[in-house]
Amino acid sequence: MRMTNRWNRLIYRFWSPVYDLLFDRFLFSAGRRRMFEALQLRGDERILLAGIGTGADLPYLPEAAQAIGLDLSPEMLRKAKSKILGAPNRLLVQADAQALPVPDAAFDVVILTLILSVVPDGGACWRAALRALRPGGRAIIFDKFLPNEQTVNPARALLNLGAKLLGTDINRRLGEIVAGTQITVLLNEPSLLNGMYRIIIIQSPAGH
């Protein structure tokens, strides 16, 4: 099955009413907390959340920070809006994370939480995020990846067909996603499910 934006809009309309309860509270909350501990955001940083979903990352942002969150699903965005309470320095936009409608080098930090495994083209999403980062800026990734050296066996390939129907791909490799981009990896540590999920901080080149 090939993942598409059309399918993602449909499946995340279904997930939106229950996403926070089923996934964030019971599965992702510990990884999310550790991600922001490692990132150490400052209040003077400009932050882009590519694939903000229901806005579960928003409570971890410094109150003074300027932040823009984007998501393809209007239903997920409506959930996120309930978490910003009209804060003037928070802006939510419906947009495709593979083609971020933001200026080049406009952000100090790009947050990619559970999005590189969801968009149809993880590489396009990563390149869009890197373009949005200022020289020397940081991107943080919290997502699931297949180890670069691991092959996909028939059982895992079959399991991934079901995963894609639910709106995610369990067989993406980070090495393939970031291939061809000049980056510095500041942190790459295992997170949930025995390291299937990872927390990765990447710095963009000073002169990109």
Give the residues across from 201 on adjacent strands: 140, 187
Q: Residue 85: its pLDDT value, please?
A: 76
Look at residue 77 and tell me if it is in a domain: yes
Look at residue 45 and tell me if it is in a domain: yes
Contact between residue 91 and residue 115 where contact means Cβ atoms under 8 Å apart: no
Place of tokens 């393809």: 72
Look at residue 59 and tell me if it is in a domain: yes
Look at residue 46 and tell me if it is in a domain: yes
1: exposed, middle or buried (C-beta count within 10 Å: 0-12, 13-18, 19+)?
exposed
Q: How big is the CA angle at 138 (ends 67 and 27), to the nearest 5 degrees? A: 70
pTM for this model (two decimals): 0.95
Contact between residue 144 and residue 118 where contact means Cβ atoms under 8 Å apart: no
Instruction: Encode pLDDT of 146-179 as tens digits.
Output: 999 999 999 999 999 999 999 999 999 999 999 9
Look at residue 13 and tell me if it is in a domain: yes
88/115 Cα distance (integer angstroms) = 25
Q: Residue 207: its pLDDT value, please?
A: 64
99/132 Cα distance (integer angstroms) = 10
Instruction: Encode pLDDT of 63-74 as tens digits.
Output: 999 999 999 999
Average pLDDT (18-28) is 88
CATH number at residue 141: 3.40.50.150
Look at residue 208 and tell me if it is in a domain: no
Look at residue 101 and tell me if it is in a domain: yes
Look at residue 41 and tell me if it is in a domain: yes
Domain count along the chain? 1
Instruction: Encode pLDDT of 77-103 as tens digits.
Output: 999 999 987 788 999 999 999 999 999
Q: Residue 25: its pLDDT value, please?
A: 80
Range of the domain at 42: 5-203
pLDDT at 208 over 90: no
